[in-house]
Chains A and B, each alone.
Chain A
Amino acid sequence: MSPFLATIRTSFRRQLTYRAANISGLLTNLMFAFFRASVLIALFNEREAVNGLTVQGAVTYAGLTQTLIGYLSFFHWFDMMQTVYDGQIGADLLRPLNFFTYWLGIDIGRAFGALLIRSLPLFLVFALFYNITLPGSFLQWLAFILSIFFALLISFSWRFMVNLAAFWTPNALGIGRFVFGMSWTFSGFFLPLALFPRWLAQFARLTPFGAGVYIPIEIFLGLITGKELLQGILIQVFWIILLLLLDQWILSRGVRKLVIQGG
């Protein structure tokens, strides 16, 4: 087995062993999904649809965003940064695997593990409580699956880049919190972007955060189809390529500069 696949497998298994943490996280996300769904229902208050978004769609939205939190882990990830500070990175750079690829493998394993034991059960339970919207065709399912995989790549390469700040400063945590915070706001995590003013929603979905969180949900709810759907996927591809290139470039400069502490 290639080192990359082995990394994914190990990380996947490790994720599955955190049973208590996963269940605890699942219940937390589920409750938050209930809170947000209740607020949306109260907002719609008998209205059928607003800006093409139905109440049912909005409720599904609340469930989906909470479902994706564990899988995408978009807004809280300091693992790589930690290895810079504790010296572990010295060993990681010597692995028979490119440093970026190594972490990508770790993250894919983590994400699939979370998807299996945290995200999927959460969505299934949520679906028992609410009437939800599901993709209507095989093609729509396929587009959604492709799109959440792309979303993971965007999420990872973005988080990796933020963590690279640790190569330059001894306190990248503050920078990380700031940047991750900013990403929250444009991802559409709080409330469906469709309910925002049009210009704001359009801007948000062009950012990597909107592309990572909102576009897969749009596809799932059928808010975008055909040409628009293709456009959405292209926005994702654009961000993946750009972020990957940036990651490689910053990493290669960072490694030359890195001073490993402790170890």
Chain B
Amino acid sequence: MIHALRLLARMYRVQIRSQLQYPLSFIMDLLSSALILGFFFVAFALTLTRFESIGGWTLGEVAFIWGITEFSFGTMDMVFSGFDYDSFGPIIRKGQFDQLLLRPANITLQVLGSRFVIRRLGRMAEGLLIFLFGLSRIQLDWSLLKILYVPLLSISQILFFGSLFIIGATTTFWTMERLEILNIFTYGGAEVMSYPMHIFPRPIRMIFTYLVPSIFLSYFPAVYLLGKPDPLNAPAFISFLAPVIAMLMLWLALRFWRFGIRNYQSSGS
């Protein structure tokens, strides 16, 4: 375990050093992700002020869940980027995965450490700012449970999004190529989770409840944290399922990942 962590730290250090080789490029990357995604929020905020509320939620309330989701996705995109199917696909196609398999270290650990994208700090900072902006605009009825649940929710989201990346990476064992369609659930899912999800029509909600259970990691917890009425009339305990769902997803994703590795056939190139 300690050996594994040390190895991981070492791999991260190499990554960080190499990414700082071009400081200008790095800073621009950092700024661009923060600014672009930040502007998306600003655009939405400017629009929302014209309409006052969306699905009965004010700007501050949307910012609260939007910020948490952004922060979690940014963090996940940094830590789990080894499993980012955009970059993992080429590794499979070029046969580089065979090299990893030959090395005397845990394969999951190696993939995890193979990419650590520090420019995602931009997105994390942006998410944090939106979250704080949201907090400044709402009167939250804080309790100890709520204070504890916010970070726990974020961790759950990180693991949840990470699971989706692992599943995405695993599919490339068979497809050899990144499937853009997975973006619906990762990037699209994160976007959908940034809004009060009851505004979406039933079919979309069903997809994000039963196919990919995103709604348990944003809308339901937010209903509890913000004390909003729930037009979907879900029982109260559903708000607390986020960590359970996240662990379940991670477990499933890792099983699928191992299944993929067992059945892996090299592209031969």
The answer to whether A and B come from one shared complex is yes
Which residues of chain A have a CB within 8 Å of any CB of chain B?
Answer: 20-21, 24-25, 27-28, 31-32, 34-35, 38-39, 41-45, 47, 50, 169-171, 173-175, 177-178, 181-182, 184-185, 190-191, 195-197, 200
Contact status B180-A25, CB under 8 Å: yes
Contact status A21-B32, CB under 8 Å: no
Contact status A191-B184, CB under 8 Å: no
Q: Which residues from chain B contact A195 at a C-beta distance below 8 Å? A: 46-47, 50
Contact status A43-B48, CB under 8 Å: yes
What are some 20 contacts across the A-B interface (CB < 8 A)?
A25-B180, A28-B181, A31-B188, A35-B192, A38-B200, A38-B204, A43-B54, A44-B51, A171-B22, A174-B26, A174-B28, A177-B32, A182-B32, A184-B39, A185-B39, A190-B39, A190-B40, A191-B43, A195-B46, A200-B46
* 4 tightest A-B CB contacts, nearest first: A174-B25, A42-B199, A181-B36, A178-B32
Other-chain contact of B25, A39, A44, A175 (Cβ < 8 Å): A175
Contact status B51-A47, CB under 8 Å: yes
**Residues 162-203 of chain B, each 1 if its beta carbon lies under 8 Å from chain A, else 0:** 000000000000000101110110001001100100011100
Cβ of B29 under 8 Å from chain A: yes
Q: Which residues from chain A contact B26 at a C-beta distance below 8 Å? A: 174
Contact status A45-B47, CB under 8 Å: no
Cβ of B251 under 8 Å from chain A: no
Nearest A residue to B51, CB-CB:
A43
Contacts A21-B180, A35-B204, A174-B22: A191 and B36 contacting too (C-beta < 8 A)?
Answer: no
Contacts A28-B180, A184-B36, A185-B36: A191 and B201 contacting too (C-beta < 8 A)?
Answer: no
Contact status A181-B35, CB under 8 Å: yes
Contacts A43-B47, A173-B25: A38 and B201 contacting too (C-beta < 8 A)?
Answer: yes
Contact status B55-A42, CB under 8 Å: yes
Q: Which residues from chain B contact A181 at a C-beta distance below 8 Å? A: 32-33, 35-36
Contact status A38-B199, CB under 8 Å: yes
Q: Which residues from chain B contact A24 at a C-beta distance below 8 Å? A: 179-181
Cβ of B102 under 8 Å from chain A: no
Contact status B181-A27, CB under 8 Å: yes
Q: Which residues from chain B contact A35 at a C-beta distance below 8 Å? A: 188, 191-192, 200, 204
Nearest A residue to B26, CB-CB:
A174
Nearest A residue to B192, CB-CB:
A35
Which residues, 15 to 45 on B, are CB-close (under 8 Å) to A? Answer: 22, 24-26, 28-29, 31-33, 35-36, 39-40, 43-44
Q: How far is the CA of A189 from the CA of B116 in the complex (A)?
A: 29
Q: Which residues from chain B contact A197 at a C-beta distance below 8 Å? A: 46
Known: A178-B31, A190-B40. 4 other contacts (CB 8 A): A42-B55, A45-B51, A174-B24, A174-B28
Which of the listed residues A24, A182, A191, A200 has the most CB atoms from chain B within 10 Å of its own CB? A24
Which of the listed residues B33, B35, B43 has the most CB atoms from chain A within 10 Å of its own CB? B43
Q: Which residues from chain A contact B48 at a C-beta distance below 8 Å? A: 43
**Residues 227-252 of chain B, each 1 if its beta carbon lies under 8 Å from chain A, else 0:** 00000000000000000000000000
Nearest A residue to B42, CB-CB:
A185
Q: Which residues from chain A contact B44 at a C-beta distance below 8 Å? A: 190-191
Q: How far is the CA of A191 from the CA of B48 in the complex (A)?
A: 11
Nearest B residue to A44, CB-CB:
B51
Nearest A residue to B29, CB-CB:
A174
Q: Which residues from chain B contact A173 at a C-beta distance below 8 Å? A: 25
Q: How far is the CA of A45 from the CA of B183 in the complex (A)?
A: 28
Nearest B residue to A184, CB-CB:
B36
Contacts A171-B22, A175-B28, A177-B28: A191 and B39 contacting too (C-beta < 8 A)?
Answer: no
Q: Which residues from chain A contact B31 at a C-beta distance below 8 Å? A: 178
Contacts A44-B51, A196-B46: A21 and B28 contacting too (C-beta < 8 A)?
Answer: no
Nearest B residue to A204, CB-CB:
B43
Nearest B residue to A183, CB-CB:
B36
Q: Which residues from chain A contact B201 at a C-beta distance below 8 Å? A: 38
Q: Which residues from chain B contact A39 at a C-beta distance below 8 Å? A: 54, 195, 199
Q: How far is the CA of A193 from the CA of B179 in the complex (A)?
A: 31
Q: How far is the CA of A50 from the CA of B48 in the complex (A)?
A: 12
Q: Which residues from chain A contact B180 at a C-beta distance below 8 Å? A: 21, 24-25, 28
